[in-house]
Amino acid sequence: MVCYYSSLTCGACVNFAISKIDEFFPSPEEQSRIYFVACNFNEKAEFQKKNTIRWNKKIDGLAIEESNNVCYFIVQNNSISRIFIPEEKFENYTNTYLKEIKKKYF
C-alpha cells in the first residue's frame, strides 16, 4: 500500500492519514509493506515515517496528483488501483477502506 501526499497537502490531512495507517497496521511487518510517497518537498524536509520516498516528479497515471489531497492506493503488477482519499470528517469510510485493504492485501 502507498500513502501519497505533496508539499501542498494540509498537515492535518497527512497526520490523519498516517494515524489511521498506524491504527490499522500496527505491527512492524505490516508497516514495512506500506510506503509513503512525499512529493515536491524541500531536500531538508524530514518525515514521520522511515519508509518515505521523496518524489519530485509527476506520477504518470495518478490524476489525484493535481488535487493536493493525501491518498492511499495499491500498486500491483505495475498498476495503480484502489485509490482512496481519507478524510477525517468521513472517518467511517476510511476505516472501511483500510479494513478491506488489510483483509485483501495483508
Q: What span, in angstroms and rounded, lies between the C-alpha atoms of 50 and 60?
A: 24
State how many domains the chain has: 1
Using pLDDT thresholds of 50, 70 and 90, give the confidence band for residue 58.
low
Per-residue model confidence (pLDDT) at position 68: 83
What is the domain extent for residue 68?
2-105
Using pLDDT thresholds of 50, 70 and 90, give the confidence band for residue 51.
confident
C-alpha cell at 22: 498506524
H helices, E strands: number in the chain? 3, 5
Ramachandran sector of residue 40 (left: φ over 0; alpha: ψ -120 to 50; beta: rest)? left
Per-residue model confidence (pLDDT) at position 19: 95
Contacts of 42 (CB under 8 A, 6+ apart): 7
Per-residue model confidence (pLDDT) at position 66: 67
The arithmetic mean of pLDDT across residues 31-37, rounded, is 93
